[in-house]
Chains A and B, each alone.
Chain A
Amino acid sequence: MLANIPLLSLLIWVPIVGGSLCLLTGGDEHATRARLIALITSLVCLGLCVPLYLGFDTNSYQMQFAEYVGWIPRYGIYYNLGVDGISMPMIALTTFTTLVVVIAAWYAIKTRVAQYMAAFLIMQGMMVGVFAAIDSILFYIFWEGMLIPMYLCIGMWGGPNRTYASIKFFLYTFLGSALMLIAILYMRFHSSSFAILDFYQLKLTMNEQIFIFIAFLTAFAVKVPMWPVHTWLPDAHTEAPAGGSVVLAALMLKMGVYGFLRFSMPIVPDACQHLDWLMIVLSLIAIVYIGMVAIGQTDMKRLIAYSSIAHMGFATLGCFMVYMIIARTGNTKDAFLSLEGAMMQMISHAFSTGAMFFGVGILYDRLHSRLISDYGGVAHRMPIFAALFMLFAMSNVALPGTSGFVGEFMIILSTFKASFWITFFAATTLVLGASYTLWMYKRVFYGPVANEGVAALKDLCAPELTVLVLLGITVIFFGVYPDSLLNVFHTTIGHLLQLSLQTKLV
């Protein structure tokens, strides 16, 4: 019976319809209606993930829950959806994050509530579309489509410098994806189909592969973001409202890594292998250099944004380490640890960084400042918040027992197979991550009460507490029992490794 329900389509269109309904409720005098619609929609979506999870066959790498409808058959474009072990957890993560954002916005957003809720619901639909699409044109449309609600979100509910940040965000990411479209069209000429799975079978020469790799890299590196195309992120994060920062960090950045896994590695494996040194060097720069830059921040959101880039460096490192590991050992089994570590890092980063952005949002709502120097002694006034924030800070510094540890541990351990020095530089995060996170924590939460603003702070209200507790439980659960998550993508990662390690040269 489950097979007959188009679950993926529902997950894409239910939030878009819900978002449109929100818009119909009108002005802020009916804000509660918009909130209720948004809450119900996101709960329904999370509910839809239950049959998705239960019906998912973890022993198969095939696209499941596939939907196949002609859309523009004349050009070979289809409305073609499906999920495997990589995209299914990402979809669940998307719906979970949106629910959390809706709850957090309950009291925090007071103006244009309906539009705010609508933006996030529509964005959710688009993002699920990105993860579920297996037709490259459909993928591209969702990929570009999700920029619009995010652009509006930063531009309308953002901080003082929001115009600059939103335009920078839009132009930067848009420019990157233009090259991706060219690569997709190029491959279409060779395979006579837009289906991503057909691209996997293409034979390509090394020069073609390198061209396609660079085209994809431009799109995905901006999204991740990788050094040196990262400077849009701190601006976007600082100006975005808390919910926007959370979605940006928890989901949008993941699309870059998802792109590497879905496109670059299986489609142009030889180019990936040829240029893996470049990706590894860029990842290590993200970990070490960006980690250093994060120490020098005075603005909390900017600090977390930089820490985000450093953590995503681990995800890209994990992806491209596989080539070097295989080159050394020749055993595919050895590469699992690194690639699964990258997946783990992506998902756990969503919880801990998302939660930290919420935390800063909570402080910003009360004192309207993001500067570390405006705080001090917050733990006296908001003890519950301080305790929860400590948990997420610890996940950010990769303390064992939290989800943040799992991915970094797996990746650091796996890199030793390839080179001592890569492990060495990757492991510096132990010191750097602890420095910037705990130094910020110390200045914001500890010490005597700094000023009257801090003295007047009130501890968490019910929606804030719900959100942080939900995230806290997830962080600890995946830290203590990560196997529950890894089970979902073992088979798919195995298949992906097989695809990524074959040669496609003609």
Chain B
Amino acid sequence: MTDVIHNLTIAIVFAPLLGCLLTGLWCRIMPTRMAHAITIGLMSLSFLLSVYVAKLVLFDGGASNSNLYTWLISGSFQFHVGFLVDQLTALMMVTVNFVSLAVHIYSVGYMEEDKGQVRFFSYISGFTFAMLMLVTANNFFQLFFGWEGVGLVSYLLIGFWFNRPAANFGGLKAFLVNRVGDFGFILAIAAVLNYFGTLDYVPVFSQMPQFAASNPTMSIVSGTSSSVVSVISILLLIGAMGKSAQVPLHVWLPESMEGPTPISALIHAATMVTAGIFMICRMSPIFEYSATALSLVLVIGATGALFTGFLAVVQHDIKRVVAYSTLSQLGYMMAALGASAYAAGMFHLITHAAFKALLFLAAGSVIVAMHHEQDMRQMGGLRKYMPITYLTFFIGALSLAAIPPFSGFFSKDGIIEAIHAATIPGAGYAYICVLIGSFVTALYIFRALFLTFHGEERMDQHVREHLHETKAVITGPLLALAVPSIILGGLMIRAMLYPTDFSLLGHSITVLPQHDVLRITAEEFHGVWQMVLHSVTTLPFWFALSGIAVAWICYGRFTTLPVWMARRFSWIYRVLVMKYGFDDFNQLVFVRGGRRLARWMYEVTDRELIDDTLVNGSGRAIEWLSLTLRRLQTGYLYHYAFAMILGLVVFLIWVIF
């Protein structure tokens, strides 16, 4: 069975690459219908095979870890390209392929009138390939390959409409901020190679317990010593912060909304941004041995969960609301990992992939209907024109707001309970953040719902006349994604979080007994319906419900209230609109400061000091010297005679005195 899984994985990973190359190389001459057929056909193949592999791995107990070929051998080091398929990988493959396939189909409708759509399909297939390389990797090198690969395709896709300056700016910003994260990541890889002598997961993870027991230290700043395991974990975390958009490296994600909407759903909600979450789960055998790193993960995650949620409340662009919501939800996942509830983080990753992709695609459907208008102040009352979009958006919002029994409820409640049970430093703070966060989540998403679909119709006459429900290629994926947004949580919770006889994640994640918070919360779990009924007595439920109520009061009933509040608490409002000043700070210090420093280095040190003074200066000095020497040789006898007499006088004076 191992061989079967390995061979199937090869097919799963390379089918999208084939689609990408076929359409990419002939994108100038290929008819769009053919490009759709090729990429969607190969994507479907990949999806079906990954479902089959998931069945083999999750239900029949299969697993595989073998190399495809040797990338490089140097000295005692070997780097391979190879696939590790266990429960974690199988779950990720299905998630990635499902969302990717839905987005491929949806894009047929969304990109209908775009001339460059063959290129677009090539990119999204290429993205899927890179993402699959990332999740199937059996070593750090290949992980880094996929990691950078998704970064590249996201850069290309955000800047897909390269005519628009904002899109190009967003793409570049995304790439550079991600590179800052990758900077930490590559240092982590270097440290792993240095201490373990290999980049393959299995030997590194199996050496980890003895390695951590010996408590190795390294000196980064002379005179101090830091635990090697903590250093490696924190460097890995920096990498994850870039990809998974954690504070303060979150700044690229809102800008990435300049790309086409299917991309926002595919990359910036369901797959690429979850790479960091996946990576930390994969690295759980390392993180578990560093309490410092776990606390840091928890605090960064919880901070992001709450404070980026606030930002969503003041956005007017429907896509940006959903984008900030993604930041906040990624914070939840990250916080779960910090509390050692990796399974809860992965669970929320999967349910979030479903309901967030749904919200994005529903927002995209609204945008198509509104003729590419994204400002919610120009919308309102859309519910009667677009019933299916409204219904699906409503389902997504309920799921996001963690209202039982929708999917999001189970995963988010699992996280909040796990953080509540955690005892590591920072857990108290994190619990408060995620609790208030559930109020904020409900508030911003229902604010968007009321502003878009309810209330008075604020669009102009021309747009209103053409309003109607979007086509079946768009509503189809919406309905398909609505199903898991409703039922996935209830179906999976036992097997994901509180396994008794059947576990979805199995042994693919390592949790030390002293960190095992899910074992504590499992005692409270008595079945799915029990959990739903019990929820009405818990704090998160009432926080979420009051969020919806406040949203209804402010944006459904008394619509003048928010305007008054914004004026009354104008400084809070300004801080939120300015996004806490991260963007301005980066723009001022790194972008403008960096450019100015670069110019100064070039003009002053390189041109003036080195080139002009030293290089051309020595040329000039030789020219001057030769000129002077030449002048001395005038050829007049009396000059020479005078020089001789002068020399004689000086000599005599020196001898006499």
Interface pick from A29-37, A271-279, A410-418: A410-418
Please tell me if the beta carbons of A424 and B71 are within 8 angstroms of each other in the complex: no
Task: Tell which of B28, B148, B163 touches A400, judged by Cβ atoms closer than 8 Å.
Answer: B148
A430 on interface, CB distance cutoff 8 Å: yes
* Residues of B contacting A482 in the complex (Cβ-Cβ under 8 angstroms): 71-72
Within 8 A of B (CB), among A457-506: 480-483, 486, 490
* Residues of A contacting B615 in the complex (Cβ-Cβ under 8 angstroms): 168, 172, 231-232
Nearest chain A residue, comparing its CB with the CB of B190: A416
Please tell me if the beta carbons of A231 and B76 are within 8 angstroms of each other in the complex: no
Please tell me if the beta carbons of B76 and A333 are within 8 angstroms of each other in the complex: yes
Please tell me if the beta carbons of A231 and B610 are within 8 angstroms of each other in the complex: yes
A189 on interface, CB distance cutoff 8 Å: no
The minimal Cβ–Cβ distance linking B139 to chain A, given in whole angstroms, is: 12
Interface pick from A61-69, A346-354, A444-452: A444-452
Nearest chain B residue, comparing its CB with the CB of A484: B72
Interface pick from A124-132, A142-150, A289-297, A367-375: A289-297
Kindly state the separation between the CA atoms of A406 and B74 in the bound complex, as whole angstroms: 12
Please tell me if the beta carbons of A431 and B72 are within 8 angstroms of each other in the complex: no
Contact code string B159-202 (vs A, CB < 8 Å = 1, else 0): 10011010010011001100110110011011101100000000
Q: Given that A412-B190, A413-B189, A430-B182 are known contacts, is A446 also in contact with B168, CB under 8 Å in the complex?
A: yes
Interface pick from B82-90, B327-335, B349-357, B599-607: B599-607
The minimal Cβ–Cβ distance linking B290 to chain A, given in whole angstroms, is: 17
Q: Given that A231-B610, A292-B601, A428-B183 are known contacts, is A483 also in contact with B70, CB under 8 Å in the complex?
A: yes
Nearest chain A residue, comparing its CB with the CB of B602: A296
Q: How many residues of A contact B (CB 8 A)?
A: 63
Nearest chain B residue, comparing its CB with the CB of A410: B74
Kindly state the separation between the CA atoms of A383 and B119 in the bound complex, as whole angstroms: 11
A163 on interface, CB distance cutoff 8 Å: no
Please tell me if the beta carbons of A413 and B193 are within 8 angstroms of each other in the complex: yes
Please tell me if the beta carbons of B190 and A295 are within 8 angstroms of each other in the complex: no
Kindly state the separation between the CA atoms of A483 and B71 in the bound complex, as whole angstroms: 6
Please tell me if the beta carbons of A333 and B614 are within 8 angstroms of each other in the complex: no
Kindly state the separation between the CA atoms of A442 and B611 in the bound complex, as whole angstroms: 29
Please tell me if the beta carbons of A334 and B76 are within 8 angstroms of each other in the complex: yes
B657 on interface, CB distance cutoff 8 Å: no
Contact code string A280-300 (vs B, CB < 8 Å = 1, else 0): 000000000100111111000
* Residues of B contacting A445 in the complex (Cβ-Cβ under 8 angstroms): 162
* Residues of A contacting B611 in the complex (Cβ-Cβ under 8 angstroms): 231
Interface pick from A15-23, A109-117, A193-201, A433-441: A433-441
Please tell me if the beta carbons of B73 and A483 are within 8 angstroms of each other in the complex: yes
Majority SS of interface residues in chain A?
A: helix
Interface pick from B376-384, B556-564, B590-598, B626-634: B590-598
* Residues of B contacting A410 in the complex (Cβ-Cβ under 8 angstroms): 72, 74
Kindly state the separation between the CA atoms of A324 and B626 in the bound complex, as whole angstroms: 46
* Residues of A contacting B168 in the complex (Cβ-Cβ under 8 angstroms): 442, 446-447
B220 on interface, CB distance cutoff 8 Å: yes
Kindly state the separation between the CA atoms of A25 and B176 in the bound complex, as whole angstroms: 52
Please tell me if the beta carbons of B74 and A434 are within 8 angstroms of each other in the complex: no
Q: Given that A383-B28, A399-B152 are known contacts, is A420 also in contact with B220, CB under 8 Å in the complex?
A: yes
Please tell me if the beta carbons of B179 and A415 are within 8 angstroms of each other in the complex: no
Task: Tell which of A232, A296, A383 touches B601, judged by Cβ atoms closer than 8 Å.
Answer: A296
* Residues of B contacting A294 in the complex (Cβ-Cβ under 8 angstroms): 598
Please tell me if the beta carbons of B183 and A430 are within 8 angstroms of each other in the complex: yes
A336 on interface, CB distance cutoff 8 Å: yes
Kindly state the separation between the CA atoms of A232 and B597 in the bound complex, as whole angstroms: 22
A337 on interface, CB distance cutoff 8 Å: yes
Nearest chain B residue, comparing its CB with the CB of A421: B220
Please tell me if the beta carbons of A412 and B594 are within 8 angstroms of each other in the complex: no
Nearest chain A residue, comparing its CB with the CB of B167: A446
Please tell me if the beta carbons of B175 and A293 are within 8 angstroms of each other in the complex: no
* Residues of B contacting A431 in the complex (Cβ-Cβ under 8 angstroms): 176, 179-180, 183
A253 on interface, CB distance cutoff 8 Å: no
Contact code string B368-382 (vs A, CB < 8 Å = 1, else 0): 000000000000000
B145 on interface, CB distance cutoff 8 Å: yes
Kindly state the separation between the CA atoms of A147 and B597 in the bound complex, as whole angstroms: 35
Nearest chain A residue, comparing its CB with the CB of B599: A296
B553 on interface, CB distance cutoff 8 Å: no
Please tell me if the beta carbons of B601 and A446 are within 8 angstroms of each other in the complex: no
Please tell me if the beta carbons of A446 and B162 are within 8 angstroms of each other in the complex: yes
Nearest chain B residue, comparing its CB with the CB of A290: B606
B218 on interface, CB distance cutoff 8 Å: yes
Task: Tell which of B69, B162, B172, B614 touches A438, judged by Cβ atoms closer than 8 Å.
Answer: B172
The minimal Cβ–Cβ distance linking A152 to chain B, given in whole angstroms, is: 21
* Residues of A contacting B163 in the complex (Cβ-Cβ under 8 angstroms): 377, 380, 447-448
Please tell me if the beta carbons of B606 and A231 are within 8 angstroms of each other in the complex: yes
Please tell me if the beta carbons of A336 and B74 are within 8 angstroms of each other in the complex: yes
Nearest chain A residue, comparing its CB with the CB of B609: A228
Q: Given that A336-B74, A401-B145, A447-B165 are known contacts, is A295 also in contact with B594, CB under 8 Å in the complex?
A: yes
* Residues of B contacting A413 in the complex (Cβ-Cβ under 8 angstroms): 189-190, 193-194
* Residues of A contacting B220 in the complex (Cβ-Cβ under 8 angstroms): 420-421
* Residues of B contacting A415 in the complex (Cβ-Cβ under 8 angstroms): 190
Q: Given that A399-B152, A413-B193 are known contacts, is A442 also in contact with B172, CB under 8 Å in the complex?
A: yes
Kindly state the separation between the CA atoms of A181 and B182 in the bound complex, as whole angstroms: 45
Kindly state the separation between the CA atoms of A294 and B189 in the bound complex, as whole angstroms: 27
Task: Tell which of A289, A434, A442, A481 touches B179, judged by Cβ atoms closer than 8 Å.
Answer: A434
B144 on interface, CB distance cutoff 8 Å: yes
* Residues of A contacting B600 in the complex (Cβ-Cβ under 8 angstroms): 296
Task: Tell which of A295, A394, A428 touches B598, judged by Cβ atoms closer than 8 Å.
Answer: A295
Kindly state the separation between the CA atoms of A341 and B73 in the bound complex, as whole angstroms: 11
Q: Given that A231-B615, A420-B218, A446-B162 are known contacts, is A400 also in contact with B149, CB under 8 Å in the complex?
A: yes
Q: Of residues A231, A294, A482, which shows the largest number of chain B Cβ atoms within 10 Å of its Cβ?
A: A231
Please tell me if the beta carbons of A400 and B144 are within 8 angstroms of each other in the complex: yes
Nearest chain A residue, comparing its CB with the CB of B596: A296
Please tell me if the beta carbons of B73 and A486 are within 8 angstroms of each other in the complex: yes
The minimal Cβ–Cβ distance linking B476 to chain A, given in whole angstroms, is: 32
Kindly state the separation between the CA atoms of A379 and B161 in the bound complex, as whole angstroms: 11
Q: Given that A231-B606, A417-B194, A447-B168 are known contacts, is A412 also in contact with B614, CB under 8 Å in the complex?
A: no
* Residues of B contacting A400 in the complex (Cβ-Cβ under 8 angstroms): 141, 144-145, 148-149
Nearest chain B residue, comparing its CB with the CB of A401: B145
Please tell me if the beta carbons of A295 and B152 are within 8 angstroms of each other in the complex: no
The minimal Cβ–Cβ distance linking B420 to chain A, given in whole angstroms, is: 38
Please tell me if the beta carbons of B598 and A293 are within 8 angstroms of each other in the complex: yes
Task: Tell which of A380, A423, A446 touches B190, judged by Cβ atoms closer than 8 Å.
Answer: A423
Contact code string A308-345 (vs B, CB < 8 Å = 1, else 0): 00000000000000000000000111111100110000
B77 on interface, CB distance cutoff 8 Å: yes
Kindly state the separation between the CA atoms of A413 and B603 in the bound complex, as whole angstroms: 33
Kindly state the separation between the CA atoms of A228 and B620 in the bound complex, as whole angstroms: 19
Nearest chain A residue, comparing its CB with the CB of B614: A228
Kindly state the separation between the CA atoms of A336 and B614 in the bound complex, as whole angstroms: 38
Nearest chain B residue, comparing its CB with the CB of A482: B72
A427 on interface, CB distance cutoff 8 Å: yes
* Residues of B contacting A390 in the complex (Cβ-Cβ under 8 angstroms): 156
Kindly state the separation between the CA atoms of A171 and B599 in the bound complex, as whole angstroms: 28
Kindly state the separation between the CA atoms of A394 and B28 in the bound complex, as whole angstroms: 22
Kindly state the separation between the CA atoms of A379 and B603 in the bound complex, as whole angstroms: 31
The minimal Cβ–Cβ distance linking B282 to chain A, given in whole angstroms, is: 18
Nearest chain B residue, comparing its CB with the CB of A332: B75
* Residues of B contacting A439 in the complex (Cβ-Cβ under 8 angstroms): 172
Since A293-B598, A442-B159 are in contact, a sample of 4 more A-B pairs with Cβ atoms closer than 8 Å, ordered by chain A residue number, is A383-B28, A409-B141, A428-B183, A447-B162
* Chain B interface (Cβ < 8 Å from any Cβ of A): 28, 69-77, 141, 144-145, 148-149, 152, 155-156, 159, 162-163, 165, 168, 171-172, 175-176, 179-180, 182-183, 186-187, 189-191, 193-194, 218, 220, 594-595, 597-603, 606, 610-611, 614-615, 619
17 pairs, CB–CB < 8 Å, chain A vs chain B: A293-B598, A293-B606, A296-B595, A296-B603, A331-B76, A334-B75, A336-B77, A394-B152, A400-B141, A401-B149, A413-B190, A424-B187, A431-B176, A434-B176, A438-B155, A483-B72, A490-B73
8 closest A-B pairs (Cβ-Cβ)? A336-B75, A296-B598, A416-B190, A295-B598, A400-B145, A231-B611, A296-B602, A333-B76
